[in-house]
Amino acid sequence: MAVNTGKLLRVNLSSCKVSTEPVPGSYAEDFIGGRAYGIRYLYEELAPGTDPLGEKNKLLLLTGPLAGTMAQGVSRWMVCTKSPLTGAFARSVCGADFGAWLKFTGYEIIIIEGKAEKPVYLHLTSEGCRILDARDIWGKDTKETQAWLNQNHGQNTRTACIGPAGENLVKYAAVVSDRRTAGRCGTGAVMGSKNLKAIAITAQRKMYLADPEAFDKLAREQVSIIRNNKGFQNHKEWGTTSTQDITNSIGIYPVRNFRYGQQTDYEKLSGKAYRKFRTGEIGCYSCPARCGKVHTVNSGLYAGAHSEGPEYESIWAFTGPIESNSIEASIAADQLCDDLGLDTISTGSSIGFAYELYEKGLLKKSDTDGLELVYGRHEPMIALINKIGRREGIGNLLAEGTMRAAASIGKGAEIAAIHVKGLELPAYEPRGAKSQGYNYATASIGASHCYGYAAQDVFGAPVPRPTDRFSEENADIVIFNQDGAAWKETGILCAFSGGWGWVPGLCGKMLAAARGIDVLADNDYLKKVGERMFNLERAFNVREGFDRKQDTLPRRMLTEPLHTRKAKGEGQIVSHQDDFLDKYYRLRGWTQAGIPTVDKLKALGLDFVLKDMTGKKQP
């Protein structure tokens, strides 16, 4: 059986050169695919100190060995690059069909280099890849852009594109496909900096599997397991549109820029309340969950607003930070962010930052273009989203992200900048879910909930063991979650599908049959790959100058007690961060400065990294 490693498409926009490369067999065995291919290539090819928005940064679009097959919930794709928001490794995951379409062409990776002289887009088919003039779509929103490309290249075309936010280099601009986004870390700004508006793929279905017969059997087995799984059925019914019922009830729904853990009258935002606005469902390629719940507003100020979403993170982003209970406004805001191509989490958080500074008098009406940023008022939030996407007025400052905006405002504004390494926090309060919080502090890309989701804290999941969500002793759990999430993003599995009962036992066998590499069927080997990926990402960041100093939660979590209103956890604070880091680094096999040790790197087969880690000192 021949090993199937996937192919790489390299496009240099400066020289207009397009080429195809095989992926080395050692990469497939050691890194499997997806996010691990992303960090492997980026580590190899990106010189330290590269300007994220400069011509020398590279933009990688990746899918995995399982994409485009009949297997369910595994056709995700992602963007990897160096983030303009954090200066660290960036990975941003997305759904819809684009990952499958990329795989149909035989490619698993596109590496985009250089910068086009004028706006262009790529059109990829089985015949090859062309660099085409994008002046007709530059300035259009993501919906209009995709409609234009479908009109010009046919309905069998799937696109990843940027909107005005990416063109305007908003530091948290997203890459959008259909109505899904690769939202985090500002990957859309990197795409905009290259004058690249879109990548359109026109393709016919085709599978690339080393052992199609074995794979077919495994995929059938997967379908029967998933169909009977309760977690799947619940996700199919609700998506994540009811997660706020849980997070509010246990006091970890961040409100008023992470000062409260529960929203007043949060029942008004319940999953059932959102259900009343539901008008449809959308899913990703070959996933029966169809968890993208479509919402439409029929009357009032936001009549006509229509969005695939908001899902949990976006529900929070447009309610909690400004303490608004308007479902209608959250739907309108979500639609607007998708159209402009903005990450909803960083957008909502940046707006929450502005509201707090307005309350404290650090931003005045004259600074906010006349907007009155008063809690509960959602009209200014909609105005701010438009301004951020177009970098107009106050939007130009907020488009830089909270870390840079706070530094530019000064006068103590830093306390309101709720980020890790420059990436704004998602919708889980660290003081009430401390393993989740410490994942934010130590994740390679900054504060990402997907990098090591602490289901133990949030849902009481007792795997690998139950946790006390207020304890700061759970370094082993944070590592377990991070390494587990890592290897699943080689496939690329959807984070939700990983919880539907098929992964232990079956997923590895599927990866082995897809690649033709037997060792991938071994679960312990997969865990090792997860650890290898995480360490390589850490080494990338260390090479960029990161160490222990940046592994910190925002000052607010370390100095201000949480207020939870009626929920448990009142007065909680993060008070043992140093002890946690000591233990976490020890378990990771890193120095107390947070640098992977020689022994650890050798044990993981990352010898090529050693030369970059030597000479890194203890703090």
Give contact residues for ligand SF4 (rule: CB under 6 A): 73, 95, 283-284, 287, 289-291, 494, 496-497
Q: Are 161 and 144 in contact (CB under 8 A)?
A: no
Q: How far is the CB of 288 from ligand SF4 (least distance, A)?
A: 8
- Give the shortest CB-447-to-ligand SF4 separation in angstroms: 21
* Comparison of 274 and 302: residue with beta carbon closer to ligand SF4: 274
Q: Residue 237 is encoded by which pair of tokens?
A: 């019914």
By beta-carbon proximity to ligand SF4, the closer residue of 73 and 516 is 73
Concatenated DSSP letters for 425-464? P-SS-GGGSHHHHHHHHH-TTSS-GGGS--HHHHH---SS
At closest approach, how far in Å is the CB of 227 from ligand SF4?
14
**Measured from the CB atom, is 291 or 327 closer to ligand SF4?**
291
- Please return the burial class of 221, using the count of CB atoms within 10 Å of its CB with bins 0-12, 13-18 and 19+: middle
Query: From edge to edge, which strands make up the β-sheet containing 306-308?
Result: 278-282, 292-296, 306-308
Nearest to residue 121, comparing CAs of 138, 107, 109? 138
CB of 302 to ligand SF4, least distance (A): 25
Cβ closer to ligand SF4: 134 or 289? 289
CA–CA separation, 538 and 49 (whole Å): 15
C-alpha to C-alpha distance for 81 and 506, rounded to whole angstroms: 31
- Of 496 and 540, the one with the shorter C-beta distance to ligand SF4 is 496
Q: Quick one: 95 or 594, whose CB is closer to ligand SF4?
A: 95
**Please, what is the minimum distance in Å from the beta carbon of residue 480 to ligand SF4?**
22
Return d(Cα 11, Cα 20) in angstroms, integer.
Answer: 9
* Pick 287 or 418: Cβ nearer ligand SF4: 287
Contact present, 334 and 318 (Cβ < 8 Å): yes
Shortest CB 273 distance to ligand SF4, Å? 21
Tokens standing for residue 317: 């982003």
User: Least CB distance from residue 169 to ligand SF4, whole Å?
Assistant: 28
Backbone angles phi, psi at 322, to 5 degrees: -110, 10
Q: Which is nearer to ligand SF4, 500 or 580 (CB)?
A: 500
Please state the closest distance from residue 290 (CB atom) to ligand SF4, in A. Answer: 6
* Inter-axis angle of helices 212-227 and 508-515, nearest 10: 160
CB neighbourhood size of 509 (10 A): 19
Rounded least distance, CB 294 to ligand SF4, Å: 12
180 bridge partner residues:
177
Which one, 164 or 491, has the nearer CB to ligand SF4?
491
**Going by DSSP bridges, is the β-strand pair 306-308/292-296 parallel, antiparallel, or unpaired?**
antiparallel
Nearest distance, CB of residue 74 and ligand SF4, angstroms: 8
Q: Which is nearer to ligand SF4, 274 or 580 (CB)?
A: 274
Q: Which two tokens stand for residue 299?
A: 């009357």
CA distance 329 to 325: 9
Closest CA to 183 of 290, 96, 103: 96
Please state at what angle helix 344-359 crosses helix 327-340, rounded to 10 degrees: 120
Name the burial class of residue 365, with classes exposed (0-12), middle (13-18) and buried (19+) by CB atoms within 10 angstroms of its CB.
exposed
Burial 581-599 (b: 16+ CB within 10 A, else e): bebbbeebbbbeebbbeee
Minimum CB–partner distance for residue 280 and ligand SF4 (Å): 13
Residue nearer to ligand SF4 on the CB measure, 290 or 568:
290
> In one letter, which amino acid is 527?
K
